[in-house]
Amino acid sequence: MGFFSKIKNIFNKKEEQKEDNSVKLYDTGLEKTRNEFVSKLSFLGIKYTKIDDEYYEALEEVLINADIGINTVTKFMDSLKKRVKEENISSTKDLTEVIVDELFIIYVNNESLSDKIVVEKGKKTIILFVGVNGVGKTTSIAKLGYKYKNQGYKVMMIAGDTFRAGAYEQLKEWSEKVDTYFYGKDNADPSSVIYDGLEEALNNDSEVILIDTAGRLQNKDNLMQELSKMNKVIDKVIPDAIRETLLVIDATTGQNGILQAKAFKEITDVTGIVLTKLDGTAKGGIVLAIKEEVNIPVKFVGLGEKMTDLEPFDIENYIYGLFKDMM
């Protein structure tokens, strides 16, 4: 049955690893979604004894309410109905594993399960952070800086958001707390600040360079030009750097986050998403919607408020954290 053996293996493996800190974080971080989403799925299995149009409608509603997204849900339902017919499944109880299976397939889509950022000793990795104001961009930079600093890398933060009141001071404060290199100037041209910051990064041999940018999306043309200019500066100063542009999205904003992802994808080459506050929402299905509707991988998820609670995204931990009570 398709991926069944793989799904079973994932759950068995994660059960063995459940004391692992990363698995625990996903377990507790997805608790709100699991309690809301899985309890409704389980109730469907009790309320409906046979698989019919009424059951499908109820299932569709549960999935949409979990913020999986209408387009993703439509594709999912088509695949599910096809499997039910092909595999002659008649009982809703037998459908649980197929549902988990199909949601897993939606995210993986024959692609690599791992989409990690490449960071290597002695090389330079430059990560540009984009996103609207208030989504947790600066704290995500701080948490990522903390992570890489603890892994033994030389880290530098550059305050490329030069006009928002307090942005420079906020990042500087975080840099001091995390104990990283820092460069910034208030009310200066963002690209010139990044240029000078990168020059300093060359001088102090920083290996991971995290760059904050302005969160304005009201005028897309201006932001597109600004980000294009920043990327040209990076190309000029450190042309051989490993490059990432991470879009920070607040998971609690739901479908608005999808709209932000689509808007930013239009104006710059977004290589990955940082999904903050996933622990604060009962609609953790947004992870699946982002991948399906925008085709940008989620690279980090925020699963708590502590500095250590920003985790590299792991589809197996996610599926386990979401469905462990059903399997």
What is 76-87 written as a DSSP string?
HHHHHHHHHHHT
Question: 90 is written with which tokens?
Answer: 């008649």
Distance CA 141, CA 211 (A): 8
* Burial class of residue 126 in the structure, from the number of CB atoms within 10 Å of its CB (0-12 exposed, 13-18 middle, 19+ buried): buried
Distance CA 234, CA 126 (A): 8
User: What is the model's pLDDT at position 4?
Assistant: 58
Residues forming beta bridges with residue 311, ordered by sequence position: 301
> Three-class SS of residue 95?
helix
Cα dihedral 24, 309, 319, 314, rounded to 10, equals -110
Q: Which residue in 283, 25, 5, 246 sits closest to 138, CA to CA?
A: 246
Tell me the backbone φ, ψ of residue 319, rounded to 5 degrees.
-60, -40
pLDDT band at 95 (very low <50, low <70, confident <90, very high): confident
User: What is the model's pLDDT at position 203?
Assistant: 97
Residue reference for tokens 């597109």:
224
Cα dihedral 80, 83, 87, 91, rounded to 10, equals 10
User: What is the model's pLDDT at position 113?
Assistant: 46
User: What is the model's pLDDT at position 106?
Assistant: 81
User: What is the model's pLDDT at position 5?
Assistant: 62
User: What is the model's pLDDT at position 104?
Assistant: 84
- Looking at the whole model, is its pTM more than 0.75? yes
Least reliable range by pLDDT among 186-190, 198-202, 225-229: 186-190
308's enclosing H/E stretch is none
Mean pLDDT over 76-95 rounds to 89
User: What is the model's pLDDT at position 164?
Assistant: 85
User: What is the model's pLDDT at position 255?
Assistant: 86
User: What is the model's pLDDT at position 1?
Assistant: 43
Q: CA 235 from chain center: how many Å?
A: 26
User: What is the model's pLDDT at position 254?
Assistant: 87
Query: Would you say residue 11 has pLDDT above 90?
Result: no
- Top-confidence residue, 120 or 107: 120
Q: Please name each of the domains of the chain with its CATH number.
A: 4-108 (1.20.120.140), 125-314 (3.40.50.300)
- Top-confidence residue, 324 or 5: 324
